[in-house]
Amino acid sequence: MPGVSLKGLTRRYGDVAAVDDLSLEVKPGELVALLGPSGCGKTTTLRLVAGFLAPEAGEIWVGDRCLSSPVTVVPPERRRMAMIFQSYALWPHMTVAQNVAYGLRFKRGLAAADRDRRLAEMLRVVQLAGYEARYPGELSGGQQQRVAVARALVVEPEILLLDEPLSNLDANLREEMRFEIRRLHEAFGITTLYVTHDQAEAMVISDRIAVLERGRVAQIGTADEVFLQPRTRFVAEFIGKTNLVEGVALTADTVARGSVRLRIGGDGLVAGARVAVSIRPHDIALTDGAAPGVNALRGTVQRASFLGDSVDYQVQVADSDVVLRVAAPAGLRRRAGEAVGLSIDPAACIPLAATEERR
């Protein structure tokens, strides 16, 4: 099972670089999610890997084969890949069996009996045994999606590409299918690139997440790393909710904004540098007591929204223009106007560059 190597890929649409000097290594058997908002270049990257687009600069290697370069592109039908489309792209004039078996006819050296065997086996795996003669128009959304999955897996591709395959399902089914896809990945172990804009999905499904911003990889890492240690404002804001307090570094480990002082974990700050501190809402505790070494602030509740299993507070920090969002367990309820104490562990205060370079 080969890995995929993207080296300095660039692809423009008009003056805009949809993919801008993007580099990424996918280890053999790994499932990497390409996560980002619309327009970040994730689908373009996927289509470059699939061979539907040619790069203007950079190369794509699969294993020891260079499949794409500005000079030459191996056409999609010879890249030994499979793709699951957002629309599933099932052929309405073919039955389920014909859809799934389509790719098998292009595999050399495969006897008819083997084809039939593989088809039957795959349908069983996706739990569509017995649906061979049905037409896509007769299936539910979830079933159609499974046909698309079966069609891609049955050809035993070297690389599997998925383009937001769950975005058309309703919420419950989506959650269920996330686990299903993860299970299939663990069963088959195919090197996979998975495009999505849903961070929860990315975190469940993937081994590593590549967060894309404006055609580049902003950060790549496991779900933990990306969530707990975001390296840029963009990543911090995109993955989960966060508070960003913009201030100036006083010392190597303290950031000040007005009268608010925040100690961060680590001590790599340069005094005088402008810093934005990222604090996740659920890392702020509503408490009057303050443990030593912990950031303690006082504030007034502006708004409290009861969400069932948690409460979402908006708290105005005393003597400051800082407003913090706090996610607290539902047990203790504070009302608007009440004074509260906020307690934040320095390890949860992640320093980031105050402004991102604009390119």
Partner 1 sequence: MSRVLTGELTRVGTPRRLAGIDRALPVWAAVVLALVFLMALPLGWLVWMSVGGGRGATLGHYRAVLDSPALMKALWNTVVLAFWVGLASVAVGTPLAWLTARTDLPGKGLIRSLVLASFVTPPFLGAFAWVMLAGPNAGLLNVLWRDATGATEPLVNIFTMSGLVFVVTIYTFPYVYIMVANTLALIASDLEEAAAILGAGRLTIARTVTLPMVAPALVSGFILAVLQALALFGSPAILALPAGFHTITTQIWSMFQYPPKLEMAAAVSMPLLLATALLLLVQKRLLGRRGYATVGGKGGQRRPIPLGAGRYPALLGSLAVMACAIFLPYGILARAALSRAWAQPLTWSNLTLGNFSFTFFEYSATQAAIVNTLELGIATATVGAVLVALLSYVTNRRLVLGHQLVAFLAMAPIVIPGVVLAVALFIAYTRPPFVLYGTLAILFVAYLTKEMPVGYAQSEATFRTIPPELEDAGRILGAGRLRILRDVTAPLARSGIIAAWCFIFIGVIRELSASIILFTPATKVMSVVIFDLKEEGQFGAIAVLGIAMLALTFATVALVQRVLGRDVLGVRE
Q: Is 106 helix (H, G, I), strand (E, B) or coil?
A: helix
Take residue 206 and report the two structure tokens written for it: 């993937």
Give the span between the Cα atoms of 279 and 113, in whole angstroms.
Answer: 59
83 in contact with partner 1 (CB under 8 A): yes
Confirm or reject binding of residue 82 to partner 1 (CB under 8 A). yes
Cβ contacts of 65 within 8 Å, gap of 6 or more: 2, 74
The reply on whether position 188 binds partner 1 by CB under 8 A is: no
Question: Toward partner 1, which CB reaches closer, 82 or 344?
Answer: 82
**Is 76 near partner 1 (CB under 8 A)?**
yes
- Core vs surface per residue 271-283: b (16+ CB within 10 A) or e: eeeebbbbbbbeb
Among 151, 174, 263, 280, binds partner 1 (CB under 8 A): 151
Three-state secondary structure readout of 44-92: HHHHHHHCCCCCCEEEEEECCEEEECCCCECCHHHCCEEEECCCCCCCC
Residue 229 in contact with partner 1, rule: CB under 8 A:
no
Q: Which is nearer to partner 1, 63 or 103 (CB)?
A: 103
Binding-site member from 10, 167, 229, 316 for partner 1 (CB under 8 A): 167
Choice from 37, 70, 130, 141 touching partner 1 (CB under 8 A): 141
147 vs 98: CA distance, rounded Å: 10
Name which position in 16, 37, 65, 91 contacts partner 1 (CB under 8 A): 91
From CA 215, how far away is CA 235, in angstroms rounded?
14
> Per CB under 8 A, does 13 bind partner 1?
no
* Segment lying near partner 1 (by CB under 8 A), choices 83-91, 247-255, 290-298, 335-343: 83-91
168 counts as binding partner 1 under rule CB under 8 A:
yes
Instruction: Find residue 9's DSSP bridge partners.
Output: 22
Kindly state the smallest distance separating residue 102's Cβ from partner 1, in Å: 6
Give the nearest distance from C-beta 86 to partner 1 in angstroms: 4
Q: How far is the C-alpha of 100 from the C-alpha of 118, rounded, in Å?
A: 10
194, two tokens? 């998975």
Q: Interface with partner 1 includes 251 (CB under 8 A)? A: no
346: left (phi over 0), alpha (psi -120 to 50) or beta: alpha
Count the site residues for partner 1 by CB under 8 A. 35
Residues from 36 through 65 that contact partner 1 (CB under 8 A): 50-52
Q: Binding partner 1 by CB under 8 A: which of 90, 184, 235, 352? A: 90
Return residues touching partner 1 (CB under 8 A). Answer: 50-52, 75-79, 81-83, 85-93, 102-103, 105-107, 136-137, 141, 144-145, 151, 155, 161, 167-168
